[in-house]
């Protein structure tokens, strides 16, 4: 009987298979290498930036697009607000600006981090990044987004509002908080919004739809803490832009310093939560459709 022959050795495979034939002859031992190839030729990592640095750059580039889109939308909203203010009074503009800075901008930061980090964990690990690198990129991305958005929101609130009021030739009847207080509050609220984005995205990857039940913890409480702080800083004063009555009661019960301490604690817990979920996040295979 003819010895059964491997189809591979029969030369039916088409492309250059000499090296494969060679390796099959040495069955049971590691394959022969192409000339000059060593383990290091393929396994050695070329000199390049650390994975978390590369991923952070990638994440920031991703968020740049979202931020640019957001700025465009805000610019249109601002133009509409100015037109309204010219007819209805600058206090209306102040209220709109407060709403945009305190309530809207942090949610944009939240959304950017959900989109660019939270729900992308699987894809980043799939592309060869560790969960540590994803966490680092998420937190650094949050920091950058938090600072940029806070500065932008403060500039919008103070500089923009002042310019519009001056151009309209009116004076604001309400008392505004100093810019540094607003910047500090916006920094906290934007940072927390961004980190909440990482936390919420990762929790949905971890627990699927059940993570909805965790939203009061993953986003509700931290966000509430920051919101109270931001409003207590930005809406102190009198006039139509002043704080609602419920917030006045909260402000009376919680002065600014304890509120700031609580908001710091909330931010710290959010960061810790994101790290705890991400560090050993299992990504079991999805079924091939």
Partner 1 sequence: MTGLSVTTRDVSVRYGAARALDGVTLDLAPGRIHGLLGRNGAGKTTLLSLLASFQRPDSGDVALDGRDPFEDARLMQDTSLMRATGDLAADLKIRDILRLHRTGRAHFDRDLADHLLDRFDIPRRRSLARLSRGQQSVVAATIGLASRAPLTMLDEVHLGMDAPTRQEFTEALLADFAEHPRTIIVSSHLIHEIEHVLETVTILHRGRVVLSEEADDLRTQGTTVTGRADRVEVMTRDLRVVGRRDLGPTREATVLGRPHPAWVTEAERQGLQLGAAPLQDLFIHLTSDRDAA
Which chain residues interact with partner 1 by CB under 8 A?
A: 1-8, 12-20, 23-24, 27-31, 33-34, 37-39, 41-43, 45-46, 48, 50-51, 54-55, 57-58, 120, 122-133, 279-280, 282-289
> Minimum distance from CB of 26 to partner 1 (Å)?
9
Compare residues 50 and 238 and give the one whose CB is closer to partner 1. 50
Q: With respect to partner 1, which residue has the nearer C-beta, 23 or 256?
A: 23
Shortest Å distance, C-beta 68 to partner 1: 16
For the residues of 179-228, what is the DSSP string, one character each?
A: HHHHHHHHHHHHHHHHHHHHHHHHHHHHHGGGGGGGHIIIIIHHHHHHHH
Q: What number of CA atoms fall less than 13 Å from residue 146's CA on the CB side?
A: 23
Q: Work out how close the CB of 162 gets to partner 1 at its nearest, in angstroms, rounded to a whole number.
A: 41
The position carrying tokens 């809406």 is 235
Nearer to partner 1, 47 or 87 (CB): 47
Which string of b and e fits 44-65 if b means at least 16 CB within 10 Å?
eeeeeeebbeebbebbbebbee
Residues 6+ apart with CB under 8 A from 273: 199, 218
For residues 31 and 79, which CB has a smaller minimum distance to partner 1 in the complex? 31
Q: Per the structure block, which two tokens stand in for 75?
A: 């610019």
* CB of residue 269 to partner 1, shortest distance in Å: 23
Judged by CB, which is closer to partner 1: 69, or 239? 69
* Minimal distance, residue 215 CB to partner 1, in Å: 22
Q: How far is the CB of 288 from partner 1 (least distance, A)?
A: 6
Q: How many CA atoms lie within 13 A of 172 on its CB side?
A: 24
Place of tokens 């591979």: 8
* 130/256 with CB nearer partner 1: 130
């Amino acid at each position: 009987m003819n010895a059964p022959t491997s189809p591979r050795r029969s030369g039916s495979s088409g492309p250059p298979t000499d090296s494969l034939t060679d390796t099959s002859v040495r069955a049971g031992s590691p394959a022969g290498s192409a000339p000059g190839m060593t383990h290091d030729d393929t396994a050695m990592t070329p000199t390049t930036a650390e994975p978390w640095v590369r991923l952070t750059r990638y994440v920031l580039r991703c968020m740049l697009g979202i931020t640019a889109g957001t700025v465009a939308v805000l610019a249109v909203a601002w133009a509409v607000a100015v037109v309204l203010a010219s007819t209805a009074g600058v206090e209306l503009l102040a209220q709109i600006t407060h709403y945009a800075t305190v309530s809207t901008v942090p949610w944009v930061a939240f959304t950017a981090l959900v989109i660019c980090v939270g729900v992308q964990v699987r894809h980043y690990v799939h592309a060869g990044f560790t969960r540590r690198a994803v966490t680092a990129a998420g937190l650094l991305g949050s920091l950058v987004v938090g600072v940029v958005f806070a500065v932008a929101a403060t500039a919008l609130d103070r500089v923009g509002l002042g310019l519009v009021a001056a151009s309209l030739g009116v004076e604001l009847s309400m008392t505004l908080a100093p810019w540094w207080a607003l910047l500090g509050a916006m920094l906290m609220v934007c940072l927390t919004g961004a980190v909440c984005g990482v936390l919420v995205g990762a929790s949905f990857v971890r627990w699927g739809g059940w993570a909805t039940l965790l939203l009061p913890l993953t986003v509700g409480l931290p966000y509430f803490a920051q919101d109270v702080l931001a409003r207590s800083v930005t809406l102190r004063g009198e006039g139509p832009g002043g704080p609602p009555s419920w917030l006045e009661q909260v402000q009376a019960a919680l002065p600014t310093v304890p509120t700031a301490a609580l908001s710091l604690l909330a931010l710290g817990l959010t960061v810790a939560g994101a790290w705890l979920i991400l560090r050993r996040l299992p990504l079991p295979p999805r079924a091939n459709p």
